Amino acid sequence: MTKVKSTTVLAVIHNGEVAIGADGQATMGNYVAKSNVKKIRKLQEGKIVTGFAGSTADAFTLLERFDEKLNAYGGNMKRAAIELAKDWRMDRYLRKLEAMLITADKDELLVISGTGDVLEPDNQIAAIGSGSMYAQSAALALKKHAPGLSAEEMVRESLNIAADICIYTNHNLVIEKIK
């Protein structure tokens, strides 16, 4: 059975604003299974936003676990991410999940992977998924050469550039902000 996969999530912190966005495409093998998947979720009454790439069912499992960890650790995003990564690496069932998460609050971005990594990306830009390097490159350029743009505008433009290049990324964008 071919797994449904979802791609290209980008988060940017710029001038005190946090924005995270994703395209809407889910692929199954080599065809588009759905074009309007919502890969961005708000948690903790909107104080934390997450985005996922990878197998959709696996990502939802991880999002549920991450939300449980947030509740267990009083909304402390970094602690919840570290505890999720530890479980993900140690638990036999979780270890088989194929997804990655970006989490963001008003102060920081984290990338959580199934290998036990919790990364704080450089330049306050995080990207995951098949179009991630296109989106990240565009965001880096915009941050450097168009600092007057908002974080939301940077995310939108960068994801659109990724969608123009990556066949697994489309222009059906969902973007959320934290101020």
Q: What is the pLDDT of residue 110?
A: 97
Q: Known catalytic residues?
A: 7
Cα–Cα distance for residue pair 79/179, rounded to 1 Å: 22
- The response to whether 163 counts as a known ligand-binding position is yes
CB atoms within 10 A of CB 86: 13
- The response to whether 166 counts as a known ligand-binding position is yes
Q: What is the pLDDT of residue 133?
A: 96
Token pair, residue 176, equals: 């959320």
Q: Three-state DSSP class for 109?
A: strand
Instruction: Give 10-residue mean pLDDT values along the chain (179 residues).
Output: 69 97 89 91 95 82 91 97 84 68 96 86 94 97 98 98 95 93
Q: What is the pLDDT of residue 59?
A: 78
Question: Is the distance from CB of 138 to CB of 21 less than 8 angstroms?
Answer: no
Q: What is the pLDDT of residue 6?
A: 61
Cα–Cα distance for residue pair 10/70, rounded to 1 Å: 21
Question: Tell me, what amino acid is at 37?
Answer: V
